[in-house]
């Protein structure tokens, strides 16, 4: 049991490296895409991801493995650019629908990623003749490399530029304007964005702590095997994909993003308590259902609100800041949750996250309607 708790703590520390780099680079990639267009930045960053996985395939030392994760963290900040591209091609009424489709893609990845990784982790390529540096995890890395190359080919052949030159930012490229701390300070952000960012950061911090410790809780409390864990991921991923791919796009135009955010947060909070308390499979899965459905309502609607508050020539920058805060929460939360899990026990990360979740639930009621904020305008540096 002590070994499990120690693994939770140090796994949280190691898992924070990738998210910390996304925190730094997401707003920078987004801001660059506002000036050069989405397509070139996506091509550069996806190429970088492919190279990172190639290094991982042949990472015969721990140092090379860390280098691979560092490069992947830097390039993985491109989610802000993909989100901005969706914002470019969707109108105000369809913005939540577009963000929901991104979320649905994440949901499917949540199902397929762990399943593929678990399946391929049993394939040991270390004995392959003539290929130095292969390691026990080269097979999953090789699959990730293949998917990255497929993604690169698809973007290069099929994805048109979504941000025309007349809508691109014209502000200075002075290094000061790319300072991530300055971008995240909240100054010079469109009205409504800072409050939405705070709600997102608090929500993600509470939710990411749950995500990180979930496997450890299921193993300790319910004696779940690796196969049982796979079914957890499939269950959560399917619910997220169904809600974000279908329900959000139908309800957002009728109920509005702000109301769906409050509904989602109201589901996540009791879900955390139930999962933290559950000692059998039925209540455990009931809690997971509330968490999955609630988070699937919250995330795309917060993204849509930020996009609606923001002018066309700053979508990449502002959505980059938004995504960066999510990465920061995923860098902080595993360490805190792992420490709480280790020191206080498996239920306390969930009870603590439920208490934290009260803050975004209360703050979400103060978010302005996009139509109530001044018309967004571009601001030059």
Other C-beta atoms closer than 10 Å to the C-beta of 188 total 14
What one-character DSSP code corresponds to residue 194?
H
Residue 267: pLDDT band (50, 70, 90) is: very high
Give pLDDT tens digits for 127-184.
Answer: 775 678 888 889 999 999 999 999 999 999 999 999 999 888 765 444 444 555 655 5
Residue 377: pLDDT band (50, 70, 90) is: very low
Question: Does residue 60 or residue 269 have the better pLDDT?
Answer: 269
| pLDDT higher than 70, residue 379 | no
Termini Cα distance of the chain: 54
The whole-number pLDDT of residue 131 equals 77
Residues present in the chain in total: 381
Yes or no: say if 244 and 107 are a contact pair by the CB < 8 Å rule. Answer: yes
Tell me the mean pLDDT in the region 260-265: 97
The whole-number pLDDT of residue 167 equals 86
The whole-number pLDDT of residue 175 equals 45
Tell me the percentage of the chain whose pLDDT exceeds 70.
88
| pLDDT higher than 90, residue 4 | no
Give pLDDT tens digits for 216-250.
Answer: 899 889 998 878 888 888 898 889 889 988 888 88
Tell me whether residue 169 is in a domain. Answer: no
Tell me whether residue 29 is in a domain. Answer: yes
Question: Does residue 6 or residue 367 have the better pLDDT?
Answer: 367
Yes or no: say if 314 and 88 are a contact pair by the CB < 8 Å rule. Answer: no
**Rounded Cα distance, 319 and 360, in Å:** 19
Tell me the mean pLDDT in the region 375-379: 45
Lowest mean pLDDT among 67-76, 145-154, 172-181, 281-290: 172-181
The whole-number pLDDT of residue 276 equals 95
| pLDDT higher than 70, residue 327 | yes
Q: What's CA 315's distance to the chain center, in Å? A: 18
The whole-number pLDDT of residue 285 equals 98
Burial of 275 (0-12, 13-18, 19+ CB in 10 A): buried
Tell me whether residue 374 is in a domain. Answer: no
Tell me the mean pLDDT in the region 50-75: 89
Tell me whether residue 124 is in a domain. Answer: yes
Tell me whether residue 98 is in a domain. Answer: yes
Yes or no: say if 207 and 334 are a contact pair by the CB < 8 Å rule. Answer: no
| pLDDT higher than 70, residue 28 | yes
The total domain count for the chain is: 1
Tell me whether residue 52 is in a domain. Answer: yes
Lowest mean pLDDT among 184-193, 217-226, 271-280: 184-193
Residue 378: pLDDT band (50, 70, 90) is: very low
Tell me whether residue 180 is in a domain. Answer: no
Give pLDDT tens digits for 344-366.
Answer: 888 999 999 999 999 999 999 99
**Rounded Cα distance, 208 and 334, in Å:** 7
Residue 100: pLDDT band (50, 70, 90) is: confident
Look over the chain and give the mean of its residue pLDDT values, rounded to a whole number: 85
Other C-beta atoms closer than 10 Å to the C-beta of 128 total 10
Tell me whether residue 378 is in a domain. Answer: no
Residue 215: pLDDT band (50, 70, 90) is: confident
Other C-beta atoms closer than 10 Å to the C-beta of 377 total 9
CATH number, domain with residue 72: 1.20.1250.20
Non-local (6+) Cβ contacts of 95 within 8 A are: 87, 304, 307, 308
- Domain region containing 22: 2-157+191-369
Lowest mean pLDDT among 37-51, 116-130, 199-213, 359-373: 116-130
**Rounded Cα distance, 271 and 220, in Å:** 19
Question: Does residue 270 or residue 21 have the better pLDDT?
Answer: 270
Tell me the mean pLDDT in the region 300-322: 90
**Rounded Cα distance, 265 and 362, in Å:** 10
């Amino acid at each position: 049991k002590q070994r499990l708790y120690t693994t939770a703590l140090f796994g949280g520390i190691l898992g924070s490296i990738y998210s910390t780099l996304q925190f730094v680079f997401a707003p920078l990639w987004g801001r660059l895409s506002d000036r050069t267009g989405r397509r070139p930045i996506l091509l550069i960053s996806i190429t970088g991801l492919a190279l990172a996985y190639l290094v991982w395939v042949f990472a015969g030392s721990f140092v090379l493995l860390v280098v691979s994760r560092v490069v992947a963290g830097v390039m993985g900040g491109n989610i802000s650019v993909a989100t901005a591209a969706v914002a470019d091609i969707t109108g105000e009424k369809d913005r939540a629908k577009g963000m929901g489709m991104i979320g649905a893609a994440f949901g499917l990845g949540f199902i397929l990623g762990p399943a593929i990784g678990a399946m391929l982790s049993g394939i040991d390529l270390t004995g392959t003749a003539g290929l130095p540096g292969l390691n026990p995890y080269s097979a999953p890395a090789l699959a990730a490399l293949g998917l990255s190359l497929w993604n690169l080919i698809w973007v290069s052949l099929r994805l048109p530029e979504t941000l025309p030159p007349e809508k691109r930012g014209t502000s200075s490229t002075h290094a000061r304007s790319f300072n991530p701390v300055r971008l995240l300070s909240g100054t010079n952000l469109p009205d409504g964005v800072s409050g939405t960012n705070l709600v997102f950061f608090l929500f993600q911090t509470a939710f990411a702590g749950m995500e990180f410790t979930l496997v450890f809780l299921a193993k300790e409390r319910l004696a779940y095997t690796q196969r049982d864990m796979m079914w957890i991921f499939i269950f959560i991923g399917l619910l997220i994909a169904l809600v974000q791919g279908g329900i959000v796009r139908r309800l957002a135009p009728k109920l509005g993003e702000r109301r769906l955010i409050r509904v989602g947060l109201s589901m996540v909070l009791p879900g955390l308590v139930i999962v933290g308390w559950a000692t059998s499979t039925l209540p455990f899965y009931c809690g997971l259902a509330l968490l999955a459905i609630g988070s699937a309502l919250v995330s795309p609607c917060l993204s849509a609100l930020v996009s609606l508050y923001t002018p066309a020539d700053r979508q990449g920058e502002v959505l980059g800041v938004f995504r960066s805060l999510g990465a920061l929460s995923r860098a902080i939360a595993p360490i805190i949750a792992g420490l709480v899990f280790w020191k206080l026990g498996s239920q306390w990360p969930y009870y603590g996250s439920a208490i934290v979740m009260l803050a975004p639930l209360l703050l979400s009621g103060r978010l302005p309607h996009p139509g109530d904020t001044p018309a967004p305008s571009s601001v030059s540096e």
